[in-house]
Amino acid sequence: MIESIEKRELTPGSERAAVSALIKDLARELGFQKIGIVAAEALTEEGLRLQEWLARGFHGEMKWLEREPSQRSNPWQLFPDAKSVIVAGLNYYTPHQHQITARGNGRANSEATGKVSRYAWGDDYHEIVSEKLRRLLSLIKERWPDADGKVCVDIQPTMDKAWAVRAGLGWMGKHTNIITEDYGSWIFIGELLLNLELEYDEVEVADQCGSCTLCIDACPTSAIVEPYVVDSNRCISHATIESRAPQMREDVAAHSDGWLYGCDVCQDVCPWNAMTPVTDEPRFEPRAGNVNASLSEILELTPETYAARFRRSAMKRAKITGLQRNAKALLNQTPV
C-alpha cells in the first residue's frame, strides 16, 4: 500500500536518484505498470514529423491538430516550470472477445450488433489515468511542498506517444501505436510535467517490428499507407469516432468490418499482443453492451438515454449523432 512506502523528507539536497526511485514506487503503487522519467525538452524531430503528417492532410477532420502544433512539441508552453516529464503506462487489456452477428438489409433487429474498440469497453480512460496522475502529484507535493506539476492525458496538446518512446516505455509500431514488451499495445499513456530535476532514464527500446507487416496487411481500409504512417481519412476509428460528417465515407463504410465505434484490427493481429496479462483495474471491465453494442438500442437512443448510458464512457466522444450514423451504415452493409 502507498501508506507503507517510506515517506522520506525530500530536500533540495536530496539525491535525484532517490527522489526518482520514490516517484516510480508511488506510481507503481497507484497501479501504473510502465513508468519512465525524462528531461523536459523540445520534441524537435517528432514535431517535424507531425508537421509533415499534417501537411499531407492525414489528420482528416481533426482540425484542432492544426492549431499551434509547436505547442505539442514544447512542454514549456503547457507548464513553463517543467524540468522533468514523468511518463506512465496503464494496462487496459481484458480478455473478452467480439461476437459476429447478422446485420444488413437496412433494418435493425435485436440480434444485430456493432463492435466497439477495446479501449472504450469500460470507464473513460481519461478520467482514470488523470485521477491516478493527480494522486501521484499530490503524493509528491506531500513529500516536497515546493513541487508542482501538470497532468496530461490525451486531451492536453502533448505528444503522448513521442514521450512514451523517449521514456523507454516501448517503441512506435508500424500501426503508430506504442508497443511494450510486456503489455503489447494495450496501454494508456499519460504524463506528469514536474518542476523537479530528477534522474532521467536513458533506456531506448529498440523497434522490434522487424519485417512484420501484419497490421498493414490486415487493415480493412488500407489506412496504414506506409509503415508508421496512418491516413486518418481512411481509418475506421476516425470515421466512427472523430468524423462529424452526416454520412460515413462510402469507401470506409464498405469495409467497416462490423465496427460501430473505433477499430482494433491492427492491434488484434499484432504478435506482441498475444500474451498481454489481464489488467488489474476493475474500471476497465466492459460495461453492459459495450463489447458488442445492439444496433437497435443505439438507434432508439434519445439525448436523455444517451447521456445516461454513456456517462463517464469514452464512447460519448462520438456523440449520439455519430453513433446512430455508424449504426445505420452497418445496417446497410451486406451481412458477414
Q: Where are the domains of the chain?
A: 11-94+122-194, 113-117+209-331
Mean predicted confidence (pLDDT) in 83-107: 84
268 is catalytic: no
Is-contact 124 313, C-beta < 8 A?
Answer: yes
Per-residue pLDDT at 106 exceeds 80? no
Per-residue pLDDT at 60 exceeds 90? yes
Query: Which residue among the candidates 25, 123, 124, 154 is catalytic per the annotation?
Result: 154
What local confidence, expressed as pLDDT, does residue 284 receive?
98
Amino acid of residue 93:
Y
Mean predicted confidence (pLDDT) in 12-20: 77
For 239, which DSSP code?
A: I
Q: Over the stretch 207-223, which tens digit does the pLDDT of each residue have?
A: 999 999 999 999 999 99
Question: Residues of 39-53 as b/e, b for ≥16 C-beta within 10 angstroms?
Answer: ebeebeebbeebeeb
> DSSP 3-state assignment of 293?
strand
> DSSP 3-state assignment of 262?
coil
Tell me the pLDDT band of 333, cut-offs 50, 70 and 90. confident
Interatomic CA distance for residues 187 and 36, integer angstroms: 14
Residue (of 160, 166, 177) closest to 39 by Cα position? 166
What local confidence, expressed as pLDDT, does residue 62 receive?
95
Pairing of strands 171-172, 34-39: unpaired
Tell me the pLDDT band of 262, cut-offs 50, 70 and 90. very high
What local confidence, expressed as pLDDT, does residue 327 receive?
96
Mean predicted confidence (pLDDT) in 290-304: 96
What angle (nearest 5°) sits at the alpha carbon of residue 156, between those of residues 150 and 249?
Answer: 165
Is-contact 109 296, C-beta < 8 A?
Answer: yes
Q: Over the stretch 221-260, which tens digit does the pLDDT of each residue have?
A: 999 999 999 999 999 999 999 999 999 999 999 999 999 9
Per-residue pLDDT at 99 exceeds 70? yes
Give the number of residues written for the chain. 336
Helical H segments across 11-124, by residue range: 16-29, 44-55, 69-72, 75-78
Per-residue pLDDT at 13 exceeds 50? no
Q: From residue 155, give the alpha-carbon distance in Å to each of 17, 93, 125, 158, 313.
A: 31, 21, 11, 8, 15
What value does the mean pLDDT of the chain take?
A: 92
Per-residue pLDDT at 4 exceeds 60? no
Question: Residues of 163-190 as b/e, b for ≥16 C-beta within 10 angstroms?
Answer: bbbbbbbbbbbbbbbbbbeebbbbbbbb
Tell me the pLDDT band of 336, cut-offs 50, 70 and 90. very low
